[in-house]
Amino acid sequence: MKRSIMICLVFFSLTAFLSCDLDETQTVTTFNNLVAEDNFDVDGAPDPNIWSFEIGDGTAQGIPGWGNNELQFYTDRTENVKVENGFLLITAKQELFNGAGYTSARLITKGKLETQYGRVEARMRLPFGQGMWPAFWMLGDDNNGTEIWPNIGEIDIMENRGQEPTKIIGSVHGPGYSGGNAVSKEYNLENDRFDTNFHVFGIEWGPNYINYYVDDVLYNQITPKDVPGEWVFDRPFYIIINLAVGGSFVGSPNNQTVFPQTMLVDYVRIYN
């Protein structure tokens, strides 16, 4: 008798658990109309109709170290950036180049592929090791240089510290909440790593909200009431993909850091 009660209890708790689980199934994405994509299917340089390069160490842009004391010199050389076998490869190398100790690449879609609102996602495998700083992010259009950061807004869909292989960070920067005061949330993978398998990093962005997801997990929503300043995300934004080395966010590489390190991007897609 007791045993059957036990079994019933087990049965009921199982049912309760399952139904609870079902209730928590997330609707991660709602924008499903694909409007732009790059699947990196053509070997060679990245598609110039979508991507431009930012070259140098930031000095020419007026922000040496790209504003974060980063250590790399960005180039458009094939050893730093190329499309191969269906992937965009961005490779950070340790080499003396134009006064920097490392080279890498930074691609932007400014003036070529911009979007206001929608779903923006990329499937990527990240590099690893102390000092690696891969990022998939967006900046607001600067109106032909008439507006400046942080007023133009910044949406960081994915940033990672190479020494934290299970963790990424999603953030927004704007006036009054930029740099170290950005509005951020970390996401931790369970029993997996960002440098050993591909993962999808994305946002769904509409008027008054930005939802952050990794794979099939919605892990954050940022709305105007979450930011201690003006909401500046109602304008066109362009995409940036880069692999920085060192800098204040991540710290310098150490003697355990393996070079070269390559970040792989399977695709970038925009839906509305």
Q: Contact between 262 and other proteins (CB under 8 A)?
A: no
Contacts (CB under 8 A) with other proteins, residues 76-135: 128-130
- Cβ-in-10-Å burial (0-12, 13-18, 19+) of 10 comes to exposed
Q: In terms of C-beta distances under 8 Å and separation of at least 24 residues, what long-range contacts does 62-70 make, across chains too?
A: 65/247, 66/244, 66/247, 68/244, 68/247, 68/248, 68/249, 69/246, 69/247, 69/248, 70/133, 70/244, 70/245, 70/246, 70/247
Q: Contact between 3 and other proteins (CB under 8 A)?
A: no
Residue with smaller CB distance to other proteins, 130 or 171: 130
Q: Contact between 192 and other proteins (CB under 8 A)?
A: yes
Site string for other proteins, 211-250 (x = CB under 8 A): ----------------------------------------
Residue with smaller CB distance to other proteins, 34 or 217: 217
Contacts (CB under 8 A) with other proteins, residues 131-150: none
Residue with smaller CB distance to other proteins, 38 or 159: 159
Q: Is 37 a catalytic residue?
A: no
Sign, CA torsion 142/116/127/107:
negative
Q: Is the peptide bond before 150 cis (omega within 30 degrees of 0)?
A: yes
Q: Using the structure block, give the residue that is written with the tokens 């990093």.
A: 201
Of the residues 46, 118, 162, 170, which one makes contact with other proteins according to CB under 8 A: 162
Catalytic-role residue among 70, 154, 190, 230: 154
Tell me the C-alpha to C-alpha distance, in Å, between residue 64 and each of 57, 70, 97, 183: 6, 8, 15, 24
Residue with smaller CB distance to other proteins, 76 or 164: 164
Number of residues that bind other proteins (CB under 8 A): 18
DSSP assigned state of 113? S
Residue with smaller CB distance to other proteins, 109 or 160: 160
Q: Is 154 a catalytic residue?
A: yes
Catalytic residue numbers read 154, 159
Q: Which residues bind other proteins (CB under 8 A)?
A: 128-130, 161-166, 189, 191-193, 195-197, 256, 258
